[in-house]
């Protein structure tokens, strides 16, 4: 298998390093707007999980600005990154390569969490927690959205839709 086949999985793992819930939230939003992932992903097709993932993504971005927000490298934060990166990495991997996609995403997310935390701490020292968080949010949301948009495809119209279009 060509490593480029798992590039989307690695990139979504990088997104998870900075915002644990953004990978699942962007994939859930893409599924909500009629896009399909290359890999199998039944979990986020269920409304509870789909809307829950999107809400958690927004909640994480809001909570990140709080003074009491824990570092992303605490055990619970790393576990969230492993879960989110694994699910998203599997979904963006080619069909039949979901396990490899999950592994690549997790292997990217965990070490990069330490690097993105170091960068965020430097930014916080210069421009403050809220401003640095908003900038990081914008960059990570844009990256996650772009990765998912490029890795997914529109769902094929149903035969009813095709008939109506004629």
Report pLDDT digits (tens) over 98-117.
999 999 999 999 999 999 99
Q: Using an 8 Å Cβ cutoff, are 89 and 13 in contact?
A: yes
The reply to whether 82 falls in a domain is: yes
pLDDT score, position 122: 96
Question: What span, in angstroms and rounded, lies between the C-alpha atoms of 63 and 72?
Answer: 12
Q: Which two tokens stand for residue 118?
A: 């170091």
Max avg pLDDT among 8-17, 41-50, 153-162: 8-17
Bridge partners of 35? 154
The reply to whether 160 falls in a domain is: no
* pTM assigned to the model: 0.86
For residues 68 and 158, which has the higher predicted lDDT (pLDDT)? 68
The reply to whether 153 falls in a domain is: no
How many percent of the chain have pLDDT more than 90? 64
Q: Which of 14-28, 61-75, 101-115, 117-131 has the lowest mean pLDDT?
A: 61-75
The reply to whether 158 falls in a domain is: no
The reply to whether 64 falls in a domain is: yes
The reply to whether 165 falls in a domain is: no
Question: What span, in angstroms and rounded, lies between the C-alpha atoms of 144 and 149?
Answer: 8
Report the number of distinct structural domains present in the chain: 1
Residue 25 predicted with pLDDT over 90: yes
Question: What span, in angstroms and rounded, lies between the C-alpha atoms of 151 and 87?
Answer: 14
The range of the structural domain enclosing residue 83 comes to: 3-148
Q: What are the b/e assignments for 129-142, b being 16+ CB within 10 Å? A: beebbeebbeebbe
pLDDT score, position 156: 67
pLDDT score, position 63: 81
The reply to whether 16 falls in a domain is: yes
Mean pLDDT within 74-93: 94
The reply to whether 159 falls in a domain is: no
């Amino acid at each position: 298998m060509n490593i480029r086949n798992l590039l989307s999985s690695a990139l979504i793992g990088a997104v998870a390093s900075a915002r644990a819930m953004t990978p699942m939230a962007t994939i859930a939003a893409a599924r909500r707007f009629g896009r399909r992932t290359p890999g199998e992903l039944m979990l986020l097709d269920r409304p509870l999980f789909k809307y829950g993932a999107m809400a958690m993504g927004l909640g994480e971005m809001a909570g990140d600005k709080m003074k009491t927000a824990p570092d992303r490298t605490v055990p619970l934060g790393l576990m969230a990154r492993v879960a989110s990166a694994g699910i998203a990495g599997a979904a963006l991997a080619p069909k039949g390569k979901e396990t490899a996609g999950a592994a690549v995403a997790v292997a990217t997310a965990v070490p990069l969490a330490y690097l993105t935390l170091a960068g965020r701490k430097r930014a916080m020292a210069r421009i403050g927690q809220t401003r640095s968080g908003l900038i990081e949010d914008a960059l990570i949301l844009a990256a996650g959205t772009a990765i998912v948009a490029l890795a997914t495809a529109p769902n094929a119209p149903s035969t009813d839709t095709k008939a109506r279009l004629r």
